[in-house]
Amino acid sequence: MLTLWLMPDKETYLKIGQLIAELSTVHNTPRFEPHVTLISGITDDIETALLKTQKLADKNRPLKASLTGVEYLEYFYRCLFFSTDDSDEIYRLREEAESIFEHSTVNPFIPHISFLYGSLPVFKKEAIVAELGDRFLGGFSLQKMRLVRTELGPENWEVLGEFELRG
């Protein structure tokens, strides 16, 4: 399966990446790179998907966004995450990506950056949320797009291409 990610600016990437590394060590959970999943389940062959990703990146400029809260769900890949603001720009980019990749999904698009994958009891999630407070919240930018092979678990994920948003 291929997935299209939006990558946060370097400072945000490093800050959240360090949090992911720390929490994954403490809770024995997978490590992964901070990202916003734009679309997943792309079925194009790799060469076609790379060309489409390049086209999408060339047409679009970096996006401004904000981390607005710390949340959790009972899903492995959304165990703990930062919610982002619902900017029109990211939804427009999502629609454009769906059109280019001839892709649609039944699940609603909820822009976010996960920082812990796994299955933790609610009391542990709530303790992490309380400890983090609002120190990660605030503005950031999404400057790059990556096409990633996301088969099996995060330890097997492979970046196939990275593209600057230039539009």
At 119-156, the pLDDT tens digits run 999 999 999 999 999 999 999 999 999 999 998 889 99
Higher pLDDT, 109 or 14: 14
- Residue 108's pLDDT band, with cuts at 50, 70 and 90, is confident
Is the pLDDT assigned to residue 167 strictly greater than 90?
Answer: no
* Spatial distance between the Cα atoms of 43 and 135, rounded to a whole number of angstroms: 38
* Spatial distance between the Cα atoms of 144 and 162, rounded to a whole number of angstroms: 7
Q: Do residues 161 and 6 make contact, with C-beta atoms less than 8 angstroms apart?
A: no
Question: In order of start, what are the domains of the chain with their CATH numbers?
Answer: 2-164 (3.90.1140.10)
Give me the percent of the chain exceeding a pLDDT of 70.
98
Residue 108 sits at the vertex; the CA angle it makes with 17 and 128, to the nearest 5 degrees, is 35
